[in-house]
């Protein structure tokens, strides 16, 4: 029978049905990549460089990793051991770090988060349970996480980026009942059929379940009858001409701005902190009172980190007067404020640009609703109801912000080349351009209603 690993234990704690699916009816192909996975890998690599030691290979599977770990233990262990794989009975875990420090054996779970979260405690406790059951000494349990107050002052100098939080008291408190939970979850894996669990908050907490789409098949459509917005409850098209009247009064030219940003767990650019939203791309459409529209764009791959060049290019094409529209404009305001901090020579103009921002999101909320939006006013929910030809699902490769971030990393890290590199670059430009062109169409639609 399959082993209960740490990932399966945590899946079962979230939902027994998810655990059963993962073991008995797994998805044909999981999402190939995600930003949390990338951030986790980057922080793991940083920790391995910070604490050099023996690394157990994982490429040949869990049994081979367990065997290699056993050989290391039999030879006396190692001061620092990364990816140690241990099995006890039907339970198996891989520890991020086992470290000996002044005679103390430490189990260190590494997370790219910026604090200790509730779900980290059972995660670390299950590892401690299996380790101790397998006669591996664990005196203290620590969580190594990102210090989001760290600022990179010099390239390559990361003292202070890692925080070690002592979880030992909380883990010890969990251990007396954790074994029974693990046994119960192992029994779930052996059930003939998936347990009957209704969809609920656990589908998204603490993480989005990969089987949501499967569970939703045949389920009743989302019940919007109790939605707090009466327009959603009514389920009819709503258009308030008065609520959008301010668009008619906004002075021309009308600029439509969108940034794409990346938040790195391990900062690369001097003067930045972990998870700061650093712009690498922008798109700007400018509409004159005559209806004439022009477009400018910028994408930094190799030049990422040269924020002066990015800001200069934007300030060259954005009109000095008129209105500047964005959707959820607080995001663009923060990007402009960060650029002003990092590019003091342009700070005055960047702050002035931010002061002209007009947020289309609250205007749209007040003025418009369509049942196909299903209670959401995200731009990707709104636009297909007014401009079907701008459906984001039709875009190639990059269809959302995370897709743009992953494409950026693929290009920057040299994961693609040749025609694939050219195609991915085009996809990034097309996506960001569609964002601002969608804002042009939305403003026109709402203005016509005013």
Q: Span 52-71, mean pLDDT? A: 96
3-state secondary structure 157-175: CCCCCEEEEECHHHHHHHH
In the chain, the percentage of residues whose pLDDT exceeds 70 is 97
Classify the C-alpha dihedral 214-215-221-227 as positive or negative.
negative
What is the pLDDT at residue 120? 98
Residues 79/102, Cβ–Cβ less than 8 Å: no
**Mean pLDDT of all residues belonging to the chain:** 95
Write 62-71 long-range contacts (CB < 8 A, 24+): 62/3, 62/5, 62/87, 62/92, 62/94, 65/94, 66/92
Q: Which of 69-78, 221-230, 308-317 has the lowest mean pLDDT?
A: 221-230
Q: Span 232-247, mean pLDDT? A: 88
Q: Say yes or no to pLDDT of 245 above 70.
A: yes
Q: How confident is the model at residue 225 (pLDDT cuts 50, 70, 90)?
A: low
Rounded to two decimals, what is the model's pTM? 0.91
Q: How confident is the model at residue 449 (pLDDT cuts 50, 70, 90)?
A: low
Q: CA-CA distance, 44 to 127, in Å (whole number)? A: 17
Respond yes or no on whether the N-terminal peptide bond of residue 173 is cis (omega within 30° of 0): no
Q: CA-CA distance, 43 to 266, in Å (whole number)? A: 6
Q: Span 411-426, mean pLDDT? A: 95
Q: How confident is the model at residue 28 (pLDDT cuts 50, 70, 90)?
A: confident
Q: Among candidates 35, 30, 32, 36, which has minimal Cα distance to 210?
A: 30
Q: Span 314-334, mean pLDDT? A: 98
Q: What is the CA radius of gyration of the chain?
A: 26
Q: Span 29-54, mean pLDDT? A: 89
Neighbour-count burial of 47, counting CB atoms closer than 10 A to its CB (0-12 exposed, 13-18 middle, 19+ buried):
buried
Beta bridge partners of 95: 84
pLDDT, tens digit, for every residue of 80-107? 999 999 999 999 999 999 999 999 999 9
pLDDT, tens digit, for every residue of 114-142? 999 999 999 999 999 999 999 999 999 99
Name 104's Cβ contacts closer than 8 Å, sequence gap at least 6.
139, 140
What are the structural domains of the chain? 4-192+205-214 (3.90.320), 226-450 (3.30.420.10)
């Amino acid at each position: 029978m399959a082993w209960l690993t740490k990932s399966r234990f945590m899946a079962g704690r979230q939902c027994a049905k998810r655990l059963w699916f993962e073991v008995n009816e797994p998805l044909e192909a999981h999402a190939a990549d995600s930003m949390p996975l990338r951030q986790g890998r980057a922080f793991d690599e940083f920790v391995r460089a910070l604490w050099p030691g023996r690394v157990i290979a994982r490429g040949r599977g869990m049994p081979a990793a367990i065997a290699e770990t056993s050989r290391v233990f039999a030879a006396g262990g190692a001061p620092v051991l990364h990816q140690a794989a241990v099995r006890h009975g039907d339970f198996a875990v891989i520890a991020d770090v086992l470290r000996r420090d002044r005679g103390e054996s430490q189990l260190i779970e590494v997370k790219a988060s910026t604090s200790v979260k509730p779900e980290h405690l059972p995660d670390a406790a299950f590892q401690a349970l299996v380790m101790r059951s397998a006669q591996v000494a664990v005196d203290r349990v620590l969580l190594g996480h990102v210090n989001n107050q760290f600022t990179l002052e010099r390239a390559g100098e990361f003292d202070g980026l890692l925080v070690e939080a002592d979880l030992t008291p909380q883990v010890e408190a969990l251990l007396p009942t954790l074994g029974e939970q693990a046994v119960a979850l192992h029994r779930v894996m052996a059930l003939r059929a998936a347990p009957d669990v209704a969809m609920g908050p656990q589908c998204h907490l603490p993480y989005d379940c990969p089987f949501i789409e499967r569970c939703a098949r045949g389920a009743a459509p989302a019940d919007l009858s109790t939605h707090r917005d009466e327009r959603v409850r009514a389920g009819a098209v709503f258009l308030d001409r008065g609520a959008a009247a301010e668009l008619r009064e906004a002075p021309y030219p009308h600029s439509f701005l969108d940034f794409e940003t990346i938040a790195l767990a391990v900062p690369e650019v001097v003067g930045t902190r972990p998870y700061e939203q650093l712009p690498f791309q922008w798109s700007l459409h400018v509409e004159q009172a005559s209806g004439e529209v022009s477009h400018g764009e910028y994408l930094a791959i190799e030049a990422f980190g040269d924020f002066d060049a990015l800001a200069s290019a934007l300030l060259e094409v954005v009109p000095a007067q008129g209105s500047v529209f964005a959707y959820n404009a607080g995001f663009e305001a923060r990007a402009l404020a960060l650029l002003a901090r990092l590019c003091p020579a342009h700070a005055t103009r960047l702050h002035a640009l931010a002061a002209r921002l007009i947020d289309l999101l609250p205007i749209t909320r007040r003025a418009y609703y369509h049942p196909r939006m299903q209670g959401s006013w995200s731009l990707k929910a709104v636009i297909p109801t007014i401009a079907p030809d701008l459906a984001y699902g039709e875009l190639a490769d990059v269809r959302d912000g995370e897709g743009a971030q992953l494409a950026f990393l693929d290009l920057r890290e040299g994961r693609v080349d040749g025609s694939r590199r050219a195609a991915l670059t085009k996809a990034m430009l097309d996506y960001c351009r569609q964002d601002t062109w969608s804002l042009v169409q939305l403003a026109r639609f709402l203005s016509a209603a005013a």
